[in-house]
Amino acid sequence: MDHICFLKGQSVNKPKWNMEEINSFLKTAEEERSDLLYYFALSTGIRLQELLALTWNDVDTDKKKVTISKQLTLYNGGEGKVMHLRSVSHVLPISETLMEKLRVHRGQLKGEERDHSDQLGAGLNLVFPNQDGEYQKPGRVQMNLNRLTMKANVPRISFGDFRPIFTNLLVQGGADPITIHYLLRHNSMDTTIQYLDRLALLEIF
């Protein structure tokens, strides 16, 4: 997708939530102990298939960095398989707040693993496994997102909308195009500029 040139009239998803709506959604998700997956997406711009393939080996708690090198691919019948990205691995910084949330989350998962050591997916070492320790299905994640947005009374979005929202947060926070290009992991700066233009964010610079 990164190498596609946007044609006139073509668009990408525009940011749909403001800060009040983001906080309202995260608070609702936190009540069900499911906020971290969405907080991670909002903090890094990671794609859903990449997020579901993330393992604890990809998370460096000392350097506060995460390596994105693979994504989850589903085949007929719903079987999941991890595929390495065609591009090189990307190492992204993560905030202290996100890192602390990950530490707590990992401790909770370890406790659950001790109670369910016979589960089929116990050895996958996933950051965001399903209840059986296996890969979550993207469709089920979206269904849960739909339910939470309704409960939080915020506009309904797809998981793919988190990436434009993340980009908008970067721009509003004063990030320059070079930093945004690095964090979005586009193949070229031209793609980043076109992306910002389609989000109506380019005029801010």
Percent of the chain with pLDDT over 70: 83
- Residue 53 has a pLDDT of 94
**Tens digit of each residue's pLDDT (9 = 90 or more) over 102-111:** 999 999 888 7
Instruction: Return d(Cα 203, Cα 205) in angstroms, integer.
Output: 6
Give the confidence band of 161 by pLDDT, cuts at 50, 70, 90: very high
Report whether pLDDT(100) > 90.
yes
Q: Which pTM was predicted?
A: 0.86
Instruction: Return d(Cα 13, Cα 199) in angstroms, integer.
Output: 7
From 147, 141, 172, 173, select the one nearest 25 (Cα to Cα): 147
Q: Are the C-beta atoms of residues 118 and 70 closer than 8 Å to each other?
A: no
Percent of the chain with pLDDT over 90: 67
Helix H or strand E segment including 93: strand 90-93
Average per-residue pLDDT in the chain? 86
Report whether pLDDT(190) > 70.
yes
DSSP classification of residue 204: G
Report whether pLDDT(2) > 50.
no
Q: Which fold has domain 19-203?
A: hpI Integrase; Chain A (1.10.443)
Q: Are the C-beta atoms of residues 71 and 82 closer than 8 Å to each other?
A: yes
- Residue 181 has a pLDDT of 96
Report whether pLDDT(197) > 50.
yes
Give the confidence band of 7 by pLDDT, cuts at 50, 70, 90: very low
Instruction: Return d(Cα 193, Cα 199) in angstroms, integer.
Output: 10
Residue of higher predicted confidence among 8 and 65 = 65
Give the confidence band of 122 by pLDDT, cuts at 50, 70, 90: low
Q: Are the C-beta atoms of residues 86 and 97 closer than 8 Å to each other?
A: no
Domain residue ranges of the chain, discontinuous segments joined by + = 19-203
Report whether pLDDT(121) > 60.
no
Give the confidence band of 84 by pLDDT, cuts at 50, 70, 90: confident
- Residue 1 has a pLDDT of 34
Q: What's the mean pLDDT in 123-131?
A: 90
From 47, 44, 26, select the one nearest 36 (Cα to Cα): 26
Percent of the chain as helix, strand, coil, to the nearest 5 = 50, 10, 40
